[in-house]
C-alpha cells in the first residue's frame, strides 16, 4: 500500500465549509483499503514539538491516517520495509487546518511530525489498537536519514522517550516489502 496525500474537497459558502474526512469507498479508490479501529488526538503547545519517528510492529502494526485540525505540521513517513528498494527513504507534506490535507501512512513506515505553529492539534486514525509490547521508534535526528526538519532556532521539544530512540542501522525490520516502492507525495 502506498503513502498517499489526500486532499479532501471542501464545499464553501458564507457560513464556512464542509468536507468528508473519511469515506471508505473513496479511500478504497485511492488505494487505501484499511479498516480503522481507533482515533487519537494530540495537542502540542510549543512550535517545534517533534513526535516521532514511531512505528508499531506486527502482529499489531498500524497504518495511520493523519490530519491537522488546528495549526500546522510537517508530517513525514520513512520506508522501513525489509527488502524495499526505497528502504530508509522518506516523503513528507505540510498538513494544516487551513489546507485540510491528510497523509495516509501504511504499516511498514516510520511516522513523525513537527509542529509549525503553537497550540497545534493533530488527529489520526489507526488500523490496530495500541500495543505497548510492539511500540517502537527510530531517532528523529538519525544522520543516515538526514531529515530536513523545519525546526525553530532552539531545536525541537521532545519527549524523554523520543530523545533516546536508536538509529535505523540498529533496527532489524519485521515489516515485509509489498512490491511497491515509496513514491513521493505531491504537495501541489
From the list 124, 150, 134, the residue with the least C-alpha distance to 50 is 150
104 within domain boundaries: yes
Q: How confident is the model at residue 171 (pLDDT cuts 50, 70, 90)?
A: very high
- Radius of gyration for the alpha carbons in the chain, expressed in angstroms and rounded: 16
184 within domain boundaries: no
186 within domain boundaries: no
- Of 54, 60, 87, 130, the active-site residue reads 54
Q: How confident is the model at residue 2 (pLDDT cuts 50, 70, 90)?
A: confident
For residue 161, what are the domain limits? 4-170
159 within domain boundaries: yes
Which pLDDT does position 187 carry in this prediction? 58
- What pairing do the DSSP bridges indicate for beta strands 109-115 and 50-56? antiparallel
Q: How far is 72 from 116, CA to CA, in rounded Å?
A: 5
Which pLDDT does position 103 carry in this prediction? 98
Which pLDDT does position 1 carry in this prediction? 74
Q: 94-147 pLDDT, tens per residue? A: 999 999 999 999 999 999 999 999 999 999 999 999 999 999 999 999 999 999
Contact of 94 with 7, CB cutoff 8 Å? no
Q: What total number of domains does the chain contain?
A: 1
Active site residue 41: no
183 within domain boundaries: no
Q: 10-39 pLDDT, tens per residue? A: 999 999 999 999 999 999 998 899 999 999
What is the number of residues in the chain?
188
pLDDT at 161 over 70: yes
Grid coordinates of 6? 489526500
Q: What is the CATH number of the domain that holds 69?
A: 2.60.120.10
177 within domain boundaries: no
Please work out, in degrees rounded to the nearest 5, the angle formed at the alpha carbon of residue 139 by the alpha carbons of 96 and 55.
65
pLDDT at 188 over 60: no
Q: 71-93 pLDDT, tens per residue? A: 999 999 999 999 999 999 999 99
Active site residue 177: no
| Percent of all residues in the chain with a pLDDT value above 70, rounded to a whole number | 99
Q: How far is 150 from 115, CA to CA, in rounded Å?
A: 9
- Of 28, 111, 124, 130, the active-site residue reads 124
153 within domain boundaries: yes
26 within domain boundaries: yes
Amino acid at each position: 500500500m502506498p503513502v498517499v496525500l489526500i486532499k479532501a474537497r471542501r464545499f464553501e459558502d458564507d457560513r464556512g465549509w464542509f468536507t468528508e474526512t473519511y469515506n471508505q469507498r473513496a479511500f478504497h479508490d485511492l488505494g487505501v483499503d484499511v479498516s480503522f479501529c481507533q482515533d487519537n488526538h494530540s495537542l502540542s503547545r510549543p512550535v517545534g514539538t517533534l513526535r516521532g519517528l514511531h512505528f508499531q510492529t506486527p502482529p499489531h502494526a498500524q497504518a495511520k491516517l493523519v490530519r491537522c485540525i488546528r495549526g500546522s505540521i510537517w508530517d513525514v513517513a520513512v520506508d522501513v520495509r525489509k527488502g524495499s528498494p526505497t528502504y530508509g527513504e522518506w516523503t513528507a507534506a505540510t498538513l494544516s487546518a487551513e489546507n485540510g490535507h491528510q497523509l495516509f501512512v501504511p504499516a511498514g513506515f516510520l511516522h513523525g511530525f513537527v509542529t509549525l505553529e503553537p497550540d497545534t492539534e493533530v488527529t489520526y486514525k489507526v488500523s490496530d489498537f495500541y500495543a505497548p509490547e510492539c511500540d517502537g521508534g527510530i531517532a528523529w535526528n538519525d544522520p543516515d536519514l538526514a531529515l530536513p526538519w523545519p525546526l525553530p532556532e532552539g531545536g525541537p521539544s521532545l519527549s524523554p522517550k523520543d530523545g533516546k530512540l536508536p538509529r535505523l542501522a540498529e533496527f532489524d525490520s519485521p515489516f515485509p516489502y509489498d512490491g511497491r516502492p515509496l513514491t513521493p507525495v505531491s504537495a501541489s
